Structure 1
Amino acid sequence: MNVESFNLDHRTVVAPYVRLADTKNLPAGDVIQKYDVRFTQPNVAHLEMPTIHSLEHLFAEHSRNHSDRVVDFSPMGCQTGFYLILQGEWAYDDVLTLVQDTLTDITTATEVPAANEVQCGWGANHTLAGAQEAARTFLGAREEWSTVTA
């Protein structure tokens, strides 16, 4: 199939993990990398939408304090994780550091950025506490992030 994640056997992965899902060499010579940042076990558990929405806002804002090469942090429709898109070629350990530093920032955040009707399409659909709990859970499994399959 054309979509990389559709070729991944979701029954064999063991969340949480951070996985390089794709590298694209663009026509002008730019490189982007897409990482699968999986919070919950596919087809077993999922994140609730207010938690996902808040993690998206928080990670998008706070990750850019650590790197100007963050292109996007987008939720997966299956509600089990996110795609982190980065400009350039990254060493895997540097990606893990970016994720760890950003999630650590989220655990101490005092608000969800842009969680209002002016800056967000569903400003009432947020939970700082839910995002912080998910971030703490993911951080607590830091030693497991490099293991994608059992």
Structure 2
Amino acid sequence: MSEVESFTLDHTKVKAPYVRLITEEKGPNGGSVANYDLRLVQPNQSSIETGGLHTLEHLFADLMRNRLDGIIDISPFGCRTGFHMISWYTYSTEEVAKALKSTLQEIADKITWDDVQGVGIKSCGNYKDHSLHSAKEWSKLILKQGISSDPFERKVV
């Protein structure tokens, strides 16, 4: 059985919201990818409902790419407490936390439904399950708590 890093993380010790570099993987033929934990809410104490999480996913796919080069994918955790962000580049957790903070601020203050890409029946696999209101409310709550560049010690950016 292979060891999955996220299953070895003590979820009772982390202090969300935070950004954590999970791993940097080297490819067999060169190149590398970095995997980040963008934890938005405290594990086992809260979770983002699917409509809000789904809309955040669509917004992050666009807005985070405007802030950081080389993003391959941003996907929600099944536990609905945050996202994986996979990148061709390894950024400091502080750089990623600042990009996440700026993205959440834009969602909270500026984004309208017309700004959310890929929410129609042809471009989304579950187009009826979105909530911009929820995405905005969660963005405000997360910003109020502050985003840390460290999962165990609050180093708010």
> Does 2:155 match 1:149?
no
- 2:80 paired residue number: 79
- 1:41 paired residue number: 42
Q: Deviations over 1:70-112 (max 9, x none)?
A: 1111000011111111112212322122212222222211122
2:59 aligns to what SS in structure 1?
Answer: helix
Q: Deviations over 1:4-25 (max 9, x none)?
A: 1011011111211111111111
Which range moved further: 67-76 or 85-94?
85-94
Paired residues for 1:59-70 under 5 Å: 59-70=60-71
Structure 1: 4+ residue segments shifted above 6 A? none
2:119–2:127 Cα contact (<8 Å) kept: yes
Q: Give the root-mean-square deviation of aligned CA atoms.
A: 1.5
1:23–1:34 Cα contact (<8 Å) kept: yes
1:32 aligns to what SS in structure 2?
Answer: strand
CA distance in 1, matches of 2:18, 2:90: 19
- 2:90 paired residue number: 89
Give the TM-score normalised by the residue count of structure 1: 0.91
Gaps of 5+ in 1: none
1:19–1:35 Cα contact (<8 Å) kept: yes
> Does 2:128 match 1:119?
no
Query: What is the letter of the counterpart of residue 90 of structure 1?
Result: Y
1:72 aligns to what SS in structure 2?
Answer: strand
Query: What is the letter of the counterpart of residue 100 of structure 2?
Result: V
CA distance in 1, matches of 2:33, 2:124: 26
- CA separation of 1:147 and 1:63: change in aligned 2, threshold 3 A: closer
Q: Deviations over 1:33-53 (max 9, x none)?
A: 111111111111111000110
CA distance in 1, matches of 2:35, 2:86: 4
- 2:111 paired residue number: 109
1:18–1:146 Cα contact (<8 Å) kept: yes
- CA separation of 1:12 and 1:67: change in aligned 2, threshold 3 A: closer
Q: Give the share of equivalent positions with the same residue, in percent.
A: 38
CA distance in 2, matches of 1:96, 1:41: 16
2:100 aligns to what SS in structure 1?
Answer: helix
Q: How many residues align?
A: 149
1:12–1:149 Cα contact (<8 Å) kept: yes
Give the TM-score normalised by the residue count of structure 2: 0.87
Gaps of 5+ in 2: none
Which range moved further: 62-71 or 74-83?
62-71
